[in-house]
Structure 1
Amino acid sequence: MFEISVTCDPDDTDRVIDTLGNVFTTWSAHRETTPDGSRTRVHLSLDHRPAPQQWPVPEQAYATAPSIISEIGWVARTAVDRPFGTEMSREFWLRKAALLDRIALSDNVAPPVSDATEDADRAARRLMDVDDAAVICDPRHYVRQQYARHTADQ
């Protein structure tokens, strides 16, 4: 974290703060008028933004995935075989989200005939809830990342 002070024309103050906010994470901005009253001095607390995270493309994430038909069978069997009243495992939510993501991706190639994209988004958000993921990203990118990690660990 670091602090800077910027002296600028009063009409430019918001633009300066916004521009710095696009480059850095900002915590606070304190404004004061210079003694002669002609300029504004802004004191900002800043930090570097983390480097953008690289998300695997679907071809990378699902390179070793079982066939869609096989995964449909696994998800269905796992859902039916669980004891009543027990929570589904993280693996279930991950594989279900990945399965729906793959189906939705195929809808992008052919004319859409289903609600696969909405279902994939909903399942991806469910996985993020299960993981208590504190990331801000496209939920389906998160699924691909987690699925790639899961298969690498197998």
Structure 2
Amino acid sequence: MFEIRVICDDTDADRIRRALNTAFQTYGRVNKVRTHDGKRVRLYVGADHLPTAWPTPEKAYSTAPSIVSEIGWTCARARTYARGTEVGREYWLRKAALLDRIALTDAYSDGDPSEAAVEAAHQLLGIDENGDYPGGPHWVELGPDSSVSIADPRGYVRQEYAIWAGTHR
């Protein structure tokens, strides 16, 4: 475990906090303290490296249909959802995986595709925390309520997609 200290403009603090929570397993909350001159802030947080137990994107999505095909599938289910019919966990899993794959196509993306992928991953985490979580090879350590899954929700999606794809393809 180690401590991270970042000095930044106050306007960047939330974005940096989110990035730290994604890049590391953080402990406790991020403490924010004004610098002596009052112009910037210092962020402090305890952290550790994320475990490498998540499947790589290549492995998780090796049998996935094309992105175009998944867009079509997701849009068809979204229309059902818009009419008030429950779409279920498979929809949220495949949507989160689709958005993760789209975000991965732009290695330097930290904007909309990545944010949408994280948002969809949080939706899946919420469903799995409150519902029928099927488990997986690491479910005790890396279940939906683990700090690792919360810190890296896209890794959680890859784990769950790989498990799902193994039984649905």
TM-score scaled by length of structure 2? 0.55
Cα drift, residue 82 of structure 1 = 4.2
Q: Which residues in structure 2 correspond to 1:5-154 (within 5 Å)?
A: 54-82=53-81, 84-108=83-107, 112=109, 115-132=112-129, 133-137=144-148, 138-154=152-168
User: Residue type of the partner of 1:115?
Assistant: D
Runs of 4+ residues deviating >2 angstroms: 81-88, 111-114
CA RMSD of aligned residues (A): 1.9
Report the identity percentage. 52
| SS across alignment from 2:62 | coil
Alpha-carbon contact 2:92-2:120 (below 8 Å) kept: yes
User: Residue type of the partner of 1:150?
Assistant: W
If you compute each CA radius of gyration, which structure gives the higher value, 1 or 2? 1
Quote the Cα distance in structure 1 between the aligned partners of 2:159 and 2:58.
12
Deviation sequence 1:13-56 (CA, Å, 0-9, x none): xxxxxxxxxxxxxxxxxxxxxxxxxxxxxxxxxxxxxxx57110
Q: Flag structure 1 segments of 5+ consecutive residues without an equivalent.
A: 1-51
What is the aligned residue count?
101
TM-score scaled by length of structure 1? 0.61
Cα drift, residue 85 of structure 1 = 2.4
Quote the Cα distance in structure 2 between the aligned partners of 1:123 and 1:139.
9
Q: Specify which structure has the bigger relative contact order, considering alpha-carbon pairs within 8 angstroms and separated by 6 or more residues.
A: 2
